Amino acid sequence: MSKLVLVTGSSRGIGAASAIRLASAGYDVCVNYVRDVDAANKVVEEIESRGKRALAIQADLSQEEQVQALFEQMDDHFGAVYGLVNNAGILFKQMRVEEMSAERINAVLTTNVTAYFLCAREAIKRMSLNRGGCGGVIVNMSSAAAKTGSAGEYVDYAASKGAIDTMTIGLAKEVAAQGIRVNAVRPGFIYTDMHRDGGEPGRVDRLKGSLPMKRGGTVEEVAAAVAWLVSEESSYTTGSFIDVSGGR
């Protein structure tokens, strides 16, 4: 039977591309989404067309009880989970810190940080050797913003991704002896709908000239890095980062 990977926030963008790439590599995939069931079902269809099992499960991962319900539903449908791709995230309109409300900051941190911890917790309970699991792998979606800070645009988002970098390092050390590897991917200027969420759909084209490679990246290029970290080809890699950022 194929190994199962949960990809959070996988109804669009990097998450969808990662889910489809993993299916092409031979994994069954659980597709998590918050609102767009039609988009999630299209990803499921793409996975099934590759001969793999798939299921779309709605869950707001900022809510602890919904995270628990997601994993329980996945247990019932698939059985043991092998991989978790922590990808779900939010971004709000470009804004300086002096204008940000506590509501905005807390929403970003809850969805982009707390949800990653909650999903990792549930995955570890199922993967950990000392709990009867068979090991596994966690891939966290960070961002080049963790290193640049995104001044004048999304310092709250950048800070949330900085937290994910630290989480990746600490968690990798914590669970390595339990057969679980933890790594992260840091995308840079990638053509996704997230820039529209931030109020500037054309942001990548505006900024690509500042990159050494002089172009934006694709979701497929990010998905390739995710798939490698999930695979056995990266079996001696943990606590590491792959920058998919055009040299940024």
Q: Mind listing the pLDDT tens digit for each residue in 170-188?
A: 999 999 999 999 999 999 9
CB 174 within 8 A of CB 132: no
Q: At what angle are helices 115-127 and 64-78 packed, to 10 degrees?
A: 30
Q: Which residues pair with 57 in a beta bridge?
A: 32
Q: Which CATH architecture has domain 4-244?
A: 3-Layer(aba) Sandwich (3.40)
In terms of Cβ atoms closer than 10 Å to its own Cβ (0-12, 13-18, 19+), residue 67 is: buried
Over residues 204-219, mean pLDDT: 89
Predicted pLDDT of residue 198: 66
Catalytic residue of the set 27, 82, 154, 157: 157
Q: What's the pTM?
A: 0.96
Catalytic status, residue 157: yes
Predicted pLDDT of residue 106: 98
In this structure, what are the phi and psi dihedrals at residue 29, rounded to the nearest 5 degrees?
A: -135, 135
CB 12 within 8 A of CB 39: yes
| Residue 200 pLDDT grade (very low, low, confident, very high; cuts 50, 70, 90) | confident
| Residue 1 pLDDT grade (very low, low, confident, very high; cuts 50, 70, 90) | confident
Helix (H, G, I), strand (E, B) or coil at 170: helix
Predicted pLDDT of residue 239: 98
Q: Of 33-42, 84-93, 191-200, where does mean pLDDT reach its minimum?
A: 191-200
Q: What percent of the chain has pLDDT over 90?
A: 90
Residue 207 has pLDDT above 90, yes or no: no
Over residues 199-223, mean pLDDT: 89
